Amino acid sequence: MKNIATILTLLVTLMACQNFNSQAQQTGGDAPTSVDAKAFAALIQTKTDGQLVDVRTPGEFQGGYIAGAMNLDFNGSDYGRQVASLDKNKPVLVYCLSGGRSASAAKGMCNAGFKEVIELQGGIMSWNKNGLPLAGANNAATPGMSKSDFDKILIDNPVVLVDFYAPWCAPCKKMKPTLDEIEKEYNGKVKVVRINVDENKALSQELKIEILPTLFIYKGGKHFFQHEGIIEKSELVKQF
């Protein structure tokens, strides 16, 4: 009897695995492709029927975009309608500032039935880091904080906690209350500086900021600690 029960169990397991594999084959290709900046640039050239989509805000888009891109604000009220107007049978190449919104957008497009979706790893930050060109960029009009101004803050304060963020960045919003608490509790001991990457593009690029939020801690003007993404307050204050 034990042998029969064992055989039946194996048969049921085998059938379940076969069913799972069959479903996986039917839904294959539902994950977007993620490529680095240079590969993304090459694909823009080779996929002549591709639809290049910038999912940043209109304000970000006006500050510089990849030539040929259409702006579909991921957090905008018309985003769903705009995506529905794209051709699902043609490739979509999608990007944002650092990769967070484009990853969500790419996954959503795949779930909606788009056959080929390609996402830019690291977004415009990675694109800039690789020295690739932007259309419509006017960085001279809004230079933001200079590197010398940034260095002066580090020299004038014994311990500096720097938060590179963006107003639209959800993880950045989650970190803000923690940073506010630290600023209040360590008043006079730790200088908290929040730098909006949208308004300080040159500095962000020079310091190689690719993920938001990015937190730096400097002691005596020297780089001491770096963390990308959300971090617990207890872990952060250990570094002071």
Catalytic residue numbers read 169, 172
Contact 40, 118 (CB under 8 A): yes
Burial (Cβ within 10 Å: 0-12, 13-18, ≥19) of residue 25: exposed
CA dist 235 and 115 (Å) reads 43
CA dist 43 and 26 (Å) reads 26
CA dist 190 and 186 (Å) reads 6
| Residue 139 neighbours by CB under 8 Å, 6+ apart | 63, 64, 201, 202
Beta-bridge partners for 70? 53
